[in-house]
Amino acid sequence: MSHYPFYEKRNQIILPASWDFSFNRNQDIDAFDPAAQIFTDHLTLPGCFDAMEQFAGAKGTGCYKSTFRLDHPAKLRLHIGGMGLYCRIYCDGKEIGRSNMPFTPLNFDFQADAGVHTLMIAINNICNEAKAPQFQLAVDFYAFGGIYYSFYLMEMPDFYIDRAYVSMIDPAAGKIGVTFQFGGNVPDETTVRYSFDNAAEETAFLCKIRDGKGYMEATVPNPVLWTPDAPALHTLHCEIEGDSITERFGLRSIEVKGRDILLNGTPLKLMGYNRHEHHPDFGAALPGIIHLNDLMLIKKTGANFVRGSHYPQNQGFLDLCDELGILVWEEGLAWGKQSPEGMCDPLFIQSQLDNVRAMIGESRNHPSIIMWGYLNECNSFDEEPAKLYKSLTEMIHQLDPQRPVTFALLGRKDHIVFEYADIVSMNLYPGWYDPLEEEIRTIHLIEPVIKGYMEYLDGIPAAKDKPFIISEIGAAALYGYKDRFRARWTEGYQADLAEEVIRIVGENDRINGLAIWMFCDTRTGMQGRILHRPRGYNNKGVFDEHRNPKEAAGVITQGFKKYLK
Ligand code: ADA
């Protein structure tokens, strides 16, 4: 799925859809030997080998092989939008790079001579926290092996323009700042010729470059604001000698003022879903049509908000959110790291900083993204782990001062990290995990639990004057399962819970947003979780994994439409 930005002048090396494939069951990524591979299968990329019939559920190292031809020596870049869990890249048997960062945009730069070359991408899907500390066995979504997001191989100019990041100065008037990120042999200055919205006429700007960066201010002709109802988009095309880029952006402001989240100066109420990149046929490598279909369903229920749980999103998906006016919370990959040792592991800390930095670098121009998140349900109650919240918030504010920061806290009342949040978010599960009573339906206990959390926040100086989002709440329902008790696991219980939660959020001005857990059922089931999640799925989807609506979809549609009017 191709996506913005576009580099029109660069020579893109055509790679086949179908690659030779070898599989080394149970093999660790460090033990992988490119010379020992026997290629018995053909698999397509992007794709997850363990979502395929032949390798369903298998753990080990898969190796994809292809050839490409160059008629001159070239500096090349292999860009992988997101993969899992580890990869090693080889050109002609020589390793050119590796990564242990799942769902993270990666660039591998290397030099190749004229001639035919063999490219190998080895991918491993065995969880090993010591090697890839962002992903542990307990994570509540399946660790697929493959390239999840789009990828390409392109020739890099000697001096190139990597990105042109657009920031808002006066969006209604079309006044923007543009930060250029250059690479290669970078001179002290260069002429940038630019135009907006495919206009034929270009403006020349002499750009001073320091540390690879340049900056200009410009005014978009005929500016139209981006709003969820009318998501108008603009493009910026920039040319330098030997390279060009087209970026897409939207003119809109997003800010936190007191307890409000303001979009273009107007307070927002957010109502929507958490969503995993998952489909039973594709694993985590979704084709564009699935992304679009999901967004159409999300919009059909009246939602305006998606939390991209729990990792950087597919750029193609974000392009669609820009076009459809869906507001997005994008977050770094981390899930439930609660042990102080794990949170203080230098490898984990570094991977968090790298992952979030790469996410912002890739996603910054999407107008749909209105907040950055990180560290889902991690340790936020001990002194040492809390330092990572400080580092991440400071880094994000420095990289992108124009978006608020949040993180989804566990439902408990001893957090010490509120000062690092611009928006306070909590994952709460009243009516599901607790309270457990003699009565098997506890819908009537949801409101007191939520109110209890609001009172808790009101008592904390660093939280009480900030916006508050319920970042997860929901109940599991097995598709098609109904009984007269309307108890847990029935479609009816999930629907009743959703109706009550939407009423509480809708009637309460103190709650700025709601992300229902979750959009659709998602495969999980590694380790002990398989015993607690029927079918090996997290069944809290409002739709099942094939996107069939459960009973909740109807009441949610009514509720969202009522309160988002
Ligand atoms: C957590 C977690 C989700 C999911 C959810 C659940 O809040 O953030 O990823 O595991 O619980 O279904 O229990």
What's the pLDDT tens digit per position in 517-546?
A: 999 999 998 777 888 899 999 999 999 999
Give the SS3 label for residue 217: strand
| CA of 410, closest atom in ligand 1 | 7
**Contact between residue 332 and residue 377 where contact means Cβ atoms under 8 Å apart:** no
Domains of the chain: 12-154 (2.60.120.260), 159-241 (2.60.40.10), 268-563 (3.20.20.80)
> Over the range 6-15, which residues count as b (16 or more CB within 10 Å of their CB) and which as e?
ebeebeebeb
Instruction: Output the CA 308–ligand 1 centroid distance in Å.
Output: 13
| CA of 433, closest atom in ligand 1 | 13
Instruction: Output the CA 400–ligand 1 centroid distance in Å.
Output: 28
Q: Chain-centre distance of CA 66, in angstroms?
A: 29
Instruction: Output the CA 81–ligand 1 centroid distance in Å.
Output: 25
CA-nearest residue, atom 10 of ligand 1:
140
- Could you give the C-alpha distances from 310 to 68, 277, 364, 408, in angstroms and in order? 35, 9, 18, 10
303, 315, 276: which is closest to 142 by C-alpha? 276
Using CB atoms within 10 A of its CB, is residue 529 exposed (0-12), middle (13-18) or buried (19+)?
middle
- Is the pLDDT at 260 greater than 80? The verdict is yes
- The string of pLDDT tens digits covering residues 225-258 is 999 999 999 999 999 999 999 999 999 999 999 9
pLDDT at position 39, please?
97
CB atoms within 10 A of CB 306: 26
Q: Which residues contact 196 (CB under 8 A, 6 or more apart)?
A: 218, 220, 221, 234, 235, 236, 237
| CA of 408, closest atom in ligand 1 | 8
Tokens read off for 299? 């919009």
- The string of pLDDT tens digits covering residues 328-377 is 999 999 999 999 999 999 999 999 999 999 999 999 999 999 999 999 99
Q: Helices (DSSP H) in 325-445: which residue ranges?
A: 340-344, 346-363, 383-399
**Contact between residue 181 and residue 213 where contact means Cβ atoms under 8 Å apart:** yes
| CA of 335, closest atom in ligand 1 | 8
CA-nearest residue, atom 4 of ligand 1:
140
Segments of 125-233 assigned E as strands? 146-147, 151-155, 159-170, 175-184, 189-196, 203-208, 213-219
- Is the pLDDT at 216 greater than 90? The verdict is yes
Q: Which residues contact 30 (CB under 8 A, 6 or more apart)?
A: none
Q: Which residues contact 522 (CB under 8 A, 6 or more apart)?
A: 141, 142, 276, 278, 537, 538, 541, 545
CB atoms within 10 A of CB 158: 12
Instruction: Show the ligand 1 pocket: residues with CB < 6 angstroms.
Output: 140, 310, 376-377, 427, 472, 517, 538, 540
- Number of DSSP helices (H) and strands (E) in the chain, helices first: 9, 33
Using the 8-state DSSP alphabet, how is residue 382 labeled? S
- The β-bridge partners of 154 are 12, 77
First to last CA, the chain: 34
- The identity of residue 14, as a single letter, is I
356, 355, 379, 372: which is closest to 132 by C-alpha? 355
Pocket test for ligand 1, best of 140, 432, 488, 537 (most atoms within 8 A of CB): 140
Instruction: Output the CA 140–ligand 1 centroid distance in Å.
Output: 7
Q: Chain-centre distance of CA 108, in angstroms?
A: 21
| CA of 472, closest atom in ligand 1 | 7
Instruction: Output the CA 515–ligand 1 centroid distance in Å.
Output: 12
Weakest-pLDDT range from 139-143, 166-170, 361-365, 464-468:
139-143
pLDDT at position 132, please?
87
| CA of 538, closest atom in ligand 1 | 12
CA-nearest residue, atom 9 of ligand 1:
140
| CA of 427, closest atom in ligand 1 | 7
How would you classify the pairing of strands 94-99 and 74-80?
unpaired
Please give the share of the chain, as a percent, with pLDDT higher than 70. 100
C-alpha angle 540-278-65 in degrees, rounded to nearest 5: 160
- Rounded to the nearest integer, the mean pLDDT of the chain is 97
- Is the pLDDT at 388 greater than 80? The verdict is yes
Distance CA(345)–CA(339), nearest Å, equals: 10
**Contact between residue 371 and residue 405 where contact means Cβ atoms under 8 Å apart:** yes
| CA of 540, closest atom in ligand 1 | 12
**Contact between residue 303 and residue 68 where contact means Cβ atoms under 8 Å apart:** no
Distance CA(44)–CA(18), nearest Å, equals: 4
Instruction: Output the CA 421–ligand 1 centroid distance in Å.
Output: 20
Instruction: Output the CA 312–ligand 1 centroid distance in Å.
Output: 17
For residue 520, which phi and psi values (nearest 5 degrees)?
-140, 160
Using the 8-state DSSP alphabet, how is residue 35 labeled? G
Instruction: Output the CA 260–ligand 1 centroid distance in Å.
Output: 26
Instruction: Output the CA 517–ligand 1 centroid distance in Å.
Output: 8
- Could you give the C-alpha distances from 480 to 477, 489, 495, 551, in angstroms and in order? 8, 10, 13, 9
Pocket test for ligand 1, best of 273, 338, 472, 537 (most atoms within 8 A of CB): 472
Instruction: Output the CA 377–ligand 1 centroid distance in Å.
Output: 9
**Contact between residue 348 and residue 384 where contact means Cβ atoms under 8 Å apart:** no
**Contact between residue 545 and residue 279 where contact means Cβ atoms under 8 Å apart:** yes
Whole-model pTM over 0.85:
yes
- The string of pLDDT tens digits covering residues 61-85 is 999 999 999 999 999 999 999 999 9
Segments of 432-490 assigned E as strands? 468-472
CA-nearest residue, atom 7 of ligand 1:
427
- The identity of residue 308, as a single letter, is G
pLDDT at position 1, please?
63
Long-range contact list for 391-398, CB < 8 A, 24+ apart? Answer: 391/349, 391/353, 392/332, 392/352, 392/353, 392/356, 392/420, 393/420, 393/421, 395/353, 395/356, 395/357, 396/356, 396/360, 396/372
